[in-house]
Amino acid sequence: MRPKIRVDHLSFYYGDKQALFDISMEIRERQITALIGPSGCGKSTFLRCLNRMNDTIPGTRLEGRVLLDGQDVYAPGTDVVDLRRRVGMVFQRPNPFPQSIFDNVAFGPRVLGLCRGRDELEEVVERSLRDVRLWDEVKDNLKQDALSLSLGQQQRLCIARVIAVQPEVILMDEPCSALDPIVTLGIEELMKRLREQYTIVIVTHNMQQAARVSDWTGFFWLGRLVEMGPTGDVFTRPQQKLTEDYITGRAG
């Protein structure tokens, strides 16, 4: 399988402080790649390098290359707005806009001008909400304020909002850390379904979650990628002592 994203010797700095050290990895198309590691190990920073969200933080610097379908997303002249449409992101805390449910999902198609006319927009909204299995719960209250939904519903809404613009890759930054276990299972089911259409990269500090949902797992430690491989291998036959210690709970 060809890599959807290839990262070459990526280093990242917050001012003088180096947060990522020479990271290289391949992210396969239509697979779920989980990035695990203790807090502060750089996995979220790495994730945010993939859609250039770190550009919004002043004083940061990056070395190396991130190739999306072979194109360096940090090359001069790259359309960052288009990149972020192709590489969507779901955040740690559900962050729907303080607007109606409909407007939340319609936001992307509207700003990107993807739909012609109201009918098409309504179709996209319905399809996106169905994809995250939220449609039946909200179809009668689309005008309701999104903030009145439960946290789990809000997070599904955020996922619906992302897939409404039909991205190629979805980055998820600890998408379940604010949610209870049952809702978390629902989101994991959702991820497995979305995997048929999208390339998913998920950052999680929950190793069971990584083991349950992902096809590939990368283990980060102090800004370095210690080990990366098929999830089964990483969890059952880790190549590195550090990985084994972390997974078995002796380190981290």
The nearer residue to another protein, 42 or 108, going by C-beta atoms, is: 108
CA distance 203 to 209: 10
147 touching another protein, by CB under 8 A = yes
Q: Which of 89, 101, 125, 234 binds another protein (CB under 8 A)?
A: 89
Q: What is the pairing mode between strands 224-230 and 87-90?
A: unpaired
The interaxial angle of helices 101-112 and 117-131, nearest 10 deg, is 120
Q: Of the ranges 77-85, 195-203, 213-221, 240-248, which one interacts with another protein (CB under 8 A)?
A: 77-85
* DSSP notation for 91-150: -SS----SSBHHHHHHHHHHHHT--SHHHHHHHHHHHHHHHTT-HHHHTT-TTSBGGGS-
Site string for another protein, 27-66 (x = CB under 8 A): ------------------------x-x--x-x--------
Q: What is the pairing mode between strands 71-72 and 87-90?
A: unpaired
14 touching another protein, by CB under 8 A = no
Rounded to 10 degrees, what is the CA torsion of 23, 56, 15, 43? Answer: -30
Q: Which of 148, 150, 208, 240 binds another protein (CB under 8 A)?
A: 148
Q: Which of 66, 160, 161, 235 binds another protein (CB under 8 A)?
A: 161
**Cα Rg of the chain, angstroms:** 18
The nearer residue to another protein, 158 or 242, going by C-beta atoms, is: 158
162 touching another protein, by CB under 8 A = yes
The nearer residue to another protein, 87 or 247, going by C-beta atoms, is: 87
132 touching another protein, by CB under 8 A = no
Q: Smallest Cα–Cα separation from 7: which of 60, 52, 58?
A: 52
Shortest CB 171 distance to another protein, Å: 8
Q: Which of 88, 186, 218, 223 binds another protein (CB under 8 A)?
A: 88
Bridge partners of 72, per DSSP, are 67
- The size of the interface with another protein (CB under 8 A), counted in residues, is 31
151 touching another protein, by CB under 8 A = no
Shortest CB 172 distance to another protein, Å: 11
Contact 181, 153 (CB under 8 A): no
Residues 93-112 that bind another protein (CB under 8 A): 93, 95-99, 107-108, 110-112
**Interacting residues of 206 by C-beta distance below 8 A, sequence separation 6+:** 176, 177
Residues binding another protein (CB under 8 A): 51, 53, 56, 58, 81-86, 88-89, 91, 93, 95-99, 107-108, 110-112, 145, 147-148, 158, 161-162, 165
